[in-house]
Chain A
Amino acid sequence: MEVSTLPSDRRLVALRAVALVKDYPARGGGPPVRAVAGVSFELESGRTLGIVGESGCGKSTLGRLLVGLELPSAGALEIGGTLRSRLGGRELARRVQLVFQDPYSSLNPRRTVGGAIGEALRVHGLARGRGEERRRVRELLETVALPAGAAARYPNELSGGQAQRVGIARALVPEPRILVLDEPTSALDVSVRAEIINLLVGLRERLGLSYVFISHDLAMVRHVSDRVAVMYLGRFVELGPWLPVLSAPLHPYTILLRAAVPEPDPPLESARRVPVVRGEVPSAARPPSGCVFHTRCPLAEEVCLSTVPDLAELRPAHLAACHVAARRVRGGEPRVSQALEADAVAALAD
């Protein structure tokens, strides 16, 4: 939460992405689809970077780039101080692992929990002999708070929450320093989500892990993240410490996204006017000119149609890619976030 400005006080960087790009060939020819369009960030060791965005924004592709399941079309990725391109498969796996959304689909239905974790141990060359394998399986199950008896179970005998614990245990097999968590609670029943989130938060502290937490669920991202990135059409449109990004957002997309999330609080809900964003996310195959959000933005001006805004540091450590916000912040306007929200509400109320 505290963001130090002193270089000597800086934490180690666990992960550094520089202008990452991922293109996919378009179906039936045409220009490639740019799923990730130049994303840069640093993940400090022991911290959680939350990435929030709607479907098609490129957040899952970005997650796959970070763990090496996909190779970037351009840009660089540094993991624990080494370029990803210089890391072999096993070495990469020991630095960063992915936890999937659907715990069942990532488990072989015909293999017991112990068998699945044991196989991962053998793949990574981390168990010498049956005895050591069994001991490690037991330890890993204990780490994710599953009883030792769970080793003999098959995936279909597990509840959703238990299956996701197994998914986490398997990701922890090569003792990675970083976990990329792609919607780790979205497939779970509401009443078991808190237990998985609390487990993840505890593991990060206990094992000194760093997280990239990817989700469409803004409330969950807000709960677990030190810093938050908001993604739209392959780009970070806003990035910074969780509190200013989600309590005083500067990008109109973040403002509208946050307002669209209903809060389990009836008096609060009945008191507020919710701005309704126009239209839908454009195709990544034909992104709009200038600012990619301009087609839906109630505050868009002439410049937004022609010029791509920089992701600029408008407040300390708080970056946003918006011409309007940048001008108003730099002009010294007080409470820009609230003013932008009020303007957006007014512009959308017709």
Chain B
Amino acid sequence: MSGPLLAVRGLSLAIENGRGPVTLVRDLSFELEAGEKLGVVGESGSGKTLSMLSIMRLLPSPPVRVIRGEVWWEGRDLLRLGERELRAVRGREITMIYQDPLHSLNPVMRIGEQITEALTAHEVRGTEARLRMLEVLHEVGMPDPERSARGYPHEFSGGMRQRVMIAMALALSPRLLIADEPTTALDVTIQQQILDLVGRIHARTGMAVIWVTHDLGVVARLVDRLLVMYAGGLVESGTTAAVFQAPHHPYTSDLLGSLPRPTGEQRAALRQIPGSPPQPADLPTGCPYHPRCAQAQARCRLERPPLLPRGLGAAACWVPREQWK
């Protein structure tokens, strides 16, 4: 089949807060090619995690629900799939790992059994399941897989638990791994072990990866293409190299300027961004970034900019980069 592996079209999510629906994600569209590594960058409340959960139909619904949109996978809209068909995709073709593996591991079940159970749910049984379980534990670098398999989640460190989660996610050789801040709670040397592991698995299996993070350094190291989200919307997309070299949305540009660098002989002043990200129930009119934006013009306060072609990518900003102050 030609065309993208995954296509999200016009996805909007809302939550009921008693006074009516509040939009959390607005009109999100993007595509992912087979084997691609895509980064989704945003701060807390940007809608990045909810968007990914909705692709997997794992939204806490209610209270959050999909208002509009389609999620195309292999010619099918996942948002309109029956529960049985969905189960054949979720966990098998698309899997997800999270920031806190403890939330997704069963605390009273040995990790080997949990992986075998995941396999059994998808018709891999008996000796075959057991061998595959040991194989993936070995692949993710668990020491002594036979012994690790008999351990309970609490007996492992955060880094090791994340390896177990990755093992479980990989057991069925998915075509897409969605990773939601899986290294945010880990130390930087352990984070590097996980980034290295995912990089190796990607190189060997060619599975596509969506890596959700607030850390621009991590995406610079890992992904080919980037989506930047702010206040529930996509504000910029492009190749990682292009977005970092010449961002077309002031938010991306400001964020890059505000980061201290870990190396180099010089220390530049950090560019300070006034204010803080808005609450979903209290979004400014027009462009949601305009109250914090040094480039904002009259139009930005009134009209929300759509995603416009900019450079080789796209940005939701009325003011072209060439006209920035």
Is there an interface contact between A262 and B220, defined as CB atoms closer than 8 Å? yes
List residues of chain B with CB within 8 A of the CB of A263.
Answer: 217, 220-221, 261-263
Q: Quick one: closest B residue to A162, CB to CB?
A: B276
Interface string of A109-120 (1 = CB under 8 A from B): 000000000000
Residues of B within 8 A of A220 (CB): 260
In this complex, the interface size class of chain B, counting residues with CB under 8 Å from chain A, is 35 or more
B217 close to A262 (CB less than 8 A): yes
- B276 near A161 with CB under 8 A, answer yes
Contact with A along B177-191 (1 / 0, CB 8 A): 000000000011111
* Chain B residue with Cβ nearest A225: B267
Q: Which listed residue, A192, A216, A219, A267, touches B276 by the CB 8 Å rule?
A: A192
Contacts of A218 on B, CB cut-off 8 Å? 188, 262
CB distance from B38 to the nearest CB of A (A): 14
Q: How far is the CA of A189 from the CA of B275 in the complex (A)?
A: 11
From 165 to 217 in chain A, residues with beta carbon under 8 angstroms from any chain B beta carbon are 189-195, 197-198, 216
Asked if A234 is at the interface of the complex by the 8 Å CB criterion, the answer is no
- From residue B250, how far is it (CB to closest CB) to chain A in Å? 12
**Which residue in A191, A216, A276 is a CB contact (below 8 Å) of B258?**
A191
Q: Which residue of B lies closest to A247 (CB)?
A: B265
Q: A218-B188, A260-B189 are in contact. Are A198 and B270 (CB under 8 A)?
A: yes
CA distance A256 to B220 in the complex (A): 19
Distance from B70 Cβ to chain A, minimum over Cβ atoms (Å): 31
Assess whether B159 is interfacial by the CB under 8 Å rule: yes
Q: How far is the CA of A222 from the CA of B251 in the complex (A)?
A: 24
In the complex, what residues of A have CB within 8 A of residue B218's CB? 262
- In the complex, chain B residues 244-277 whose Cβ is within 8 Å of any chain A Cβ: 244-245, 251, 254-256, 258-265, 267, 269-277
Give 1 or 0 for each of B36-56: 1 = CB within 8 Å of chain A CB.
000000011000000000000
When distances are taken between beta carbons in the complex, the residues of chain B under 8 Å from A268 are 220
Residues of chain B within 8 A (CB-CB) of A256 are: 189
Return the chain A residue nearest B193 by Cβ. A276
Contact indicator B277/A189 (Cβ below 8 Å): yes
Residue of A nearest to B195 (CB): A262
CA distance A61 to B193 in the complex (A): 27
Verify if A265 is at the interface (C-beta below 8 Å from B). yes
Secondary structure type dominating chain A contacts: helix
Is B113 an interface residue, CB under 8 A from the partner?
no
Set of chain A residues within 8 Å of B217, measured between Cβ atoms: 261-264, 269
Q: A257 in the interface, Cβ–Cβ < 8 Å?
A: yes
Tell whether A274 pairs with B192 under 8 Å between CB atoms, given A189-B43, A263-B262: yes
Interface contact A191-B215, CB-CB below 8 Å? no
- Report if B214 contacts A (CB, 8 A): yes
Residues of B within 8 A of A223 (CB): 260-261, 267, 270
Q: How large is the interface on A (under 10, 10 to 19, 20 to 34, 35 or more residues)?
A: 35 or more
| Interface residue from B188, B191, B258 paired with A194 (Cβ < 8 Å) | B258
Residue of A nearest to B279 (CB): A159
Q: Does A160 contact B (CB under 8 A)?
A: yes
Question: CA of A192 to CA of B277 in the docked complex: distance in angstroms?
Answer: 9
CA distance A257 to B187 in the complex (A): 10
Give chain B residues whose Cβ lies under 8 Å from the Cβ of A267.
Answer: 241
Any A CB within 8 A of the CB of B240: yes
The residue in B215, B263, B264 that gathers the most chain A C-beta atoms within 10 A of its C-beta is B263
B196 on interface, CB distance cutoff 8 Å: yes
Chain A hits for B256, CB < 8 A: 264
Do A222 and B270 have beta carbons less than 8 Å apart? no
Chain B neighbourhood of A161, CB < 8 A:
276
B residues 191-235 touching A (CB-CB < 8 Å): 191-193, 195-196, 214-218, 220-222
Instruction: Name the A residues within 8 Å of B244 (CB-CB).
Output: 264-266
Contacts of A102 in B (CB 8 A): none
Is the C-beta of A246 less than 8 angstroms from some C-beta in chain B? yes
Q: Give every chain A residue within 8 A of B260 (Cβ-Cβ).
A: 197, 219-220, 222-223
Q: With an 8 A cutoff between CB atoms, is A345 at the interface?
A: no
A195 to B292, CA, bound (A): 13
A299 to chain B, nearest CB (A): 15
In the complex, chain B residues 271-306 whose Cβ is within 8 Å of any chain A Cβ: 271-277, 292
User: How far does the alpha carbon of A259 sit from the alpha carbon of B262 in the complex, in Å?
Assistant: 9
Nearest to B223 among chain A residues (CB) is: A266
User: Quick check: is A302 within 8 A (CB to CB) of the other chain?
Assistant: no
Say yes or no: is B157 at the interface (Cβ < 8 Å to chain A): yes
Q: Is A350 part of the contact surface with B, judged by Cβ < 8 Å?
A: no
Other contacts beyond A247-B264, A263-B217, A264-B259: 19, CB < 8 A: A159-B275, A159-B276, A160-B276, A189-B44, A190-B259, A191-B251, A192-B276, A194-B258, A195-B273, A222-B267, A223-B270, A246-B263, A261-B188, A262-B217, A263-B261, A265-B244, A266-B245, A276-B196, A281-B187
Task: List chain B positions with a Cβ less than 8 A from chain A.
Answer: 43-44, 157, 159-160, 187-193, 195-196, 214-218, 220-222, 240-241, 244-245, 251, 254-256, 258-265, 267, 269-277, 292
16 A-B pairs with CB atoms under 8 Å apart are A54-B188, A189-B214, A191-B254, A194-B271, A195-B274, A218-B188, A220-B260, A222-B261, A256-B189, A260-B192, A262-B195, A264-B216, A264-B256, A264-B261, A266-B244, A267-B241
Binding site for B on A (CB under 8 A): 54-55, 159-162, 189-195, 197-198, 216, 218-220, 222-223, 243, 246-247, 256-269, 274, 276-277, 280-281
Q: Ordered nearest first, which 8 A-B pairs have the shortest CB separation?
A: A262-B217, A223-B260, A194-B270, A194-B258, A54-B187, A159-B276, A260-B192, A262-B221
